[in-house]
Structure 1
Amino acid sequence: MAASTLRVASIPFVSRDGDNAHNAARIAVLLGDAAREGISLAVFPERSLSGHANTARLQRAQLNALAEPLDGASVRMIADAVDRTGVACGAGLIERAPDGRLFNSYVVCLPGGERHCHRQLHADGHRRISSGDAFTVFDTAWGIRIAILIGSDSYPVENVRMTALMDATLVVVAHRRERARDVVVDDVLDAAALSARAADNGMFVVFADSADGVDDAMAMIVDPSGHVLATCNAAGAGAVADLDVTLAGGSRGRRWLSARRPDLYGPLVQQPSNGRALLADSPRVVAKGAVAVAFAVVSRHRLLR
Structure 2
Amino acid sequence: MVDKILDQTAKIDKKIEALKNEQESLNGITVDDKYYENEEEIEHLKKLRSDLLEQCRDLTPEDHVHIARLADRPHITDFIDALFTDFFEQRGDHLCDEDAAIYGGIALFHKIPVTVLGHRKGRTVEENVACRFGMPSPEGYRKAMRMFKEAEKFHRPIITFIDTPGAYPGMEAEAHGQGEAIARSLAMMSHLTVPVISVVTGEGNSGGALALSVANRLLMLKYAVYSVLSPEGFCSILFKDTSRKTEACSLMHLTADDLYQNKMADEVIDEPLGGASFDPVTVYDALDTAIYKNLKELEKMSASQLVADRHRKFRRI
Same fold by TM-score, threshold 0.5 exceeded?
no
* Structure ranking higher in helix proportion: 2
Q: Which has the larger radius of gyration?
A: 1
TM-score, reference length from structure 1 = 0.33
TM-score, reference length from structure 2 = 0.32
Higher relative contact order (CA 8 A, sep 6+): 1
